Amino acid sequence: MIRPATKDDIPQLVWCNRTAKNDNGLVGYGPPLGKRVFADEDKLRSNWHENHVEEEFVYVFEEDGRVLAYAQVRVDPDAVELDNIDVAGEHQRKGIGKAMVDFVESLAKNSGKHYVTLGTSRNIKTGKPWKSYSFWLRLGYVVDGETQTEDGKENGFTEIRFRKRVLPQVCVHATRPAQENKQGFAGRQLSMHMCDVW
């Protein structure tokens, strides 16, 4: 079951964060766990407001009373940003991450947002992207650029931006002039179709 997180979930959120990745695996891909809010119960408690941390809503995947994964989500004007998703180490590669992504995509659609956006990282020294890179491609996300952030400069990575259209774009085109109506107005007939634009 996927649901909004509560403050009572904090210990399990930290467990998910700490078991999803370790400091050695993060070198060149992100800040060390000690600097991450979700890796420290006290930091997370002090930043917690209802079911969000700063501007991000937090959702959890719960099974048999245990939180096995969480996602941090921010709603932007035209998109839902999936800021982070962590699945506890022993529960990875079981479809939980995909279920969380499907949930976020549904959330975007239901909110009338056209896209889900997200980022992953690339190690500057090796040029290799973080292990989630191929996961996002398999789920239909496309690379939308790569940037250098302050956090990335400090920790040796660039951010690879992804996006996926979740709502089709409707295009309206004017066609031939219409016949005059009873009031003498001759407008244009309109046609609507789905555009194949991401």
pLDDT at 198 > cutoff 50: no
Q: Which residues are CB-neighbours of 59 under 8 A, at least 6 positions away?
A: 2, 3, 4, 5, 51, 70, 71, 73, 100, 103, 104
* Host domain of residue 15: 2-167
Same structural domain, 36 and 87: yes
pLDDT at 172 > cutoff 80: no
Q: How many domains are contained in the chain?
A: 2
Same structural domain, 39 and 121: yes
**Could you tell me if 76 and 107 are in contact, meaning their C-beta atoms sit under 8 angstroms apart?**
no
Same structural domain, 44 and 99: yes
Whole-number percent of the chain with pLDDT over 90: 45
Same structural domain, 185 and 106: no
- Which residue, among 41, 126, 45, 38, has the nearest Cα to 83 in the 3D structure? 38
Distance separating alpha carbons of residues 118 and 111, to the nearest angstrom: 17
Same structural domain, 110 and 173: no
Whole-number percent of the chain with pLDDT over 70: 78
Same structural domain, 102 and 51: yes
What is the mean pLDDT of the segment spanning 88-116? 93
Per-residue confidence (pLDDT) for residue 188, from 0 to 100: 54
Same structural domain, 74 and 158: yes
Same structural domain, 138 and 194: no
Q: Which residues are CB-neighbours of 75 under 8 A, at least 6 positions away?
A: 57, 81, 111, 113
State pLDDT tens for residues 116-171. Answer: 999 988 888 888 888 889 999 999 999 999 987 777 777 778 889 999 999 987 66
Same structural domain, 79 and 30: yes
Which CATH number belongs to the domain containing residue 84 in this structure? 3.40.630.30
Same structural domain, 136 and 46: yes
Its pTM stands at: 0.80
DSSP label at 8?
G
Same structural domain, 81 and 163: yes
Rounded CA Rg of the chain: 21
Distance separating alpha carbons of residues 73 and 53, to the nearest angstrom: 10
Which of 5-9, 36-40, 61-65 is predicted with the least confidence, judged by mean pLDDT? 36-40
Query: Does 148 or 66 have the greater pLDDT score?
Result: 66
